[in-house]
Structure 1
Amino acid sequence: MDRAALERHIRDTPVEGSPAEMRAAFLRLAQAGDAPALPQVARVGGCDGRWFGRGGRPVVWLHGGGYVFGGSDTHAAPARVLAGLTGRAIFVPDYPLAPERPWPAQRDAVRGVLDALDRPDVVGDSAGGHLGLVLGLSHPHLMRRLAVLSPNTDRSGQSTTRTRNSATDLMNDDAQDRRLSDMALGHLRDDDPEASPLLGELGTLPPLFMAATTIEVLLDDTLLFATRAGREGVPLTLRVLPDLFHMWHLWPDATPEGRGILRDVAAHLA
């Protein structure tokens, strides 16, 4: 599948409706064709998930999907590629999903995974990036390095790209992002650091890699966070890629930039 075909697939597969309908649509969207063979479900630290690859210090990938959809099945492609690039085993937890299990169920489930794996490296995308940052801020001793791709970091209104880029981001818009956030985090104030990690004390974070794209809704979430983290002395690498939609890395075989950013993540974790 080339970039044009992928963009048609995204437009033809809207993720909308009830939570169950969104989960089914996002799985169709992520797999973009025949369903791949998946590893058996495993249990780590009380949380189910799947391992991709083997060997080396483990890496935990916290999947995106607004805390409402997504899982080890939707993120199999990038997890497999990252396992190949690093020569390490990647565990993708199937943490609890909202609205059935609102926050902090996700945080608590993944903390159990990190406890069980003895300071793994952590990767997170979108909501999974938010989850990685929250855990990195509250429990930095549980992870060695952290890489986040287009994380949600701010609900306090500082971002301008949440509205400005809603028309250009094929995979996300501000209204949908808020709807998903409200299902999981709606009981938190927007200025609570667990909802907006941008407002937390960032200086204790482990070495951090961040990436986003120029036309996605969450661009400012990354830029604002990177600016504050850098000022507070966090060892930081930032990549901003042009003209790509949110979660572009889900299709590393269709977007050279997707495979490229996974190489950058692998280099950060080395």
Structure 2
Amino acid sequence: MHHVPGHRLIIRTARTTVDIASRLVRPDPRVRVRPADEVRRDTGRVFGEWVEPRDAEEGPLDGAVLYLHGGGYVVCSPRTHRPITSRLAADTGLPVLVPEYRLAPEHPFPAALEDALDAYRWLLDVGVPADRIVVAGDSAGGHLAASLTGEICRTGLPRPAGVVLFSPWVDLTCELSTREQRLARDPYISAATARRVARLVVGSMDPTDPRLALLACAWADTPPFLIQVGSREVLRPEAEALAGAISDSGGDCLLQVWNGQMHDFQMLNRVLPEASAAMDETARFIRSVLDASAADGETDAEAVA
């Protein structure tokens, strides 16, 4: 994210460059990718893609991962994050829905959140049980996944089974990352760039809005969280602060700080042993929250009987 542009005029060029580079990454042979253009919002369609195990059977969906890609809310797409989404699909056996949410600065926050909410509601509308959905995201997508979870709880929608955040960008004021910049040497992201991008993302919104200010949210009665962050990240204090806020509210949060790792290191899971191990941990977490939801459902059914 050192190279994520903070100026409107060069963002379009950056998006094209990133998209071309993503086309050079060969897809994981264990999965297949197909368009997801049926996810609608009131103002049109939310496009995206499904990444699913190659041997997945046709039929009604009984579970899914809703993945929200990173990129500072200004660049990247479902295609750029296939190294993570394909690994999630292969390891969990679940289809992964990756919406192509609207990007800033053309569409500042909360446009991305509105699209994420529509994607979640669509999964519910087509019959996927909420307790068989896991919400996940990385970097800015981690912020979006957490914001979506908070909005689900505030609006009374059925809660997902769990939430996974990779290197989440929690504090869009960038106060915590600016302090950490004096010590951290993350080659991927800098606090100065994050602050410049944040101004484009926030736009005219009140920065204290709970959909933006995650550390000021009430995190009671939320689903279990897994947060993974590298020890070298300037965003590490933000991840730690969010984990603390969730735990202090009585929530269930597992924080994993991976020693020596940089921002979004999970993207390198095909070549970096630590990244592969982190994805293994993620698959275990997802299986555990789905198993727990299934057990709760059986207990409820027995109580009714």
Q: TM-score range by the shorter chain?
A: 0.7 to 0.9
**C-alpha distance in 2 between matches for 1:22 and 1:201:** 36
Pairing 1:139–2:152 present? yes
State the Cα RMSD in Å.
2.3
Structure 2 gap segments, 5+ residues each: 41-45, 57-61, 125-129, 288-305
SS at match of 1:43: coil
**C-alpha distance in 1 between matches for 2:97 and 2:4:** 25
Partner of 1:259: 276
CA 1:268–1:182: 2 relative to 1, 3 Å: same
Q: Which amino acid aligns with 1:210?
A: I
CA 1:132–1:42: 2 relative to 1, 3 Å: same
* Structure of higher CA gyration radius: 2
Preserved contact between residue 45 and residue 114 of structure 1 (Cα < 8 Å) = no
Partner of 1:6: none
TM-score where L is the length of structure 1: 0.87
1:97-112 to 2 correspondences below 5 Å: 97-112=103-118
Preserved contact between residue 72 and residue 94 of structure 1 (Cα < 8 Å) = yes
Pairing 1:73–2:63 present? no
Q: How far apart are residue 225 of structure 1 and its match?
A: 0.8
**Which of residues 69, 79, 92 is equivalent to 1:63?**
69
**C-alpha distance in 1 between matches for 2:179 and 2:203:** 18
User: What's the CA shift string for 1:122-145, capped at 9, x where partnerless?
Assistant: 111111111111111121324221
**Which of residues 216, 223, 227 is equivalent to 2:244?**
227
Q: How far apart are residue 214 of structure 1 and its match?
A: 1.1
Partner of 2:96: 90
CA 1:162–1:24: 2 relative to 1, 3 Å: farther
Q: Which 4+ runs in 1 deviate beyond 4 A?
A: 160-163
Preserved contact between residue 93 and residue 110 of structure 1 (Cα < 8 Å) = yes
Partner of 1:23: 15
**C-alpha distance in 1 between matches for 2:17 and 2:186:** 18
User: What's the CA shift string for 1:128-184, capped at 9, x where partnerless?
Assistant: 111111111121324221111111222456525654268611111111111222111
Pairing 1:196–2:213 present? yes
Q: How far apart are residue 223 of structure 1 and its match?
A: 0.3
Q: How far apart are residue 44 of structure 1 and its match?
A: 4.1
Preserved contact between residue 68 and residue 97 of structure 1 (Cα < 8 Å) = yes
Structure 1 gap segments, 5+ residues each: 1-9
User: What's the CA shift string for 1:183-217, capped at 9, x where partnerless?
Assistant: 11132233332222111111132111111111111
Partner of 2:26: 36
Bigger mean CA deviation after superposition, 135-144 or 73-82: 135-144
SS at match of 2:274: helix
SS at match of 1:240: strand
Preserved contact between residue 137 and residue 204 of structure 1 (Cα < 8 Å) = no
Partner of 1:3: none
User: What's the CA shift string for 1:96-142, capped at 9, x where partnerless?
Assistant: 11111111111111111101112221111111111111111121324
Aligned length: 257
CA 1:91–1:168: 2 relative to 1, 3 Å: same
Preserved contact between residue 47 and residue 99 of structure 2 (Cα < 8 Å) = yes
CA 1:132–1:164: 2 relative to 1, 3 Å: same
User: What's the CA shift string for 1:7-26, capped at 9, x where partnerless?
Assistant: xxx99xx4446111222343
Preserved contact between residue 143 and residue 206 of structure 1 (Cα < 8 Å) = yes
Partner of 1:116: 122
CA 1:150–1:35: 2 relative to 1, 3 Å: closer
Bigger mean CA deviation after superposition, 79-88 or 256-265: 256-265
Preserved contact between residue 51 and residue 92 of structure 1 (Cα < 8 Å) = yes
Preserved contact between residue 15 and residue 26 of structure 1 (Cα < 8 Å) = no
Preserved contact between residue 45 and residue 115 of structure 1 (Cα < 8 Å) = no
TM-score where L is the length of structure 2: 0.77
**C-alpha distance in 2 between matches for 1:157 and 1:35:** 32
Q: How far apart are residue 28 of structure 1 and its match?
A: 5.4
**C-alpha distance in 2 between matches for 1:144 and 1:121:** 6
**C-alpha distance in 1 between matches for 2:13 and 2:253:** 38
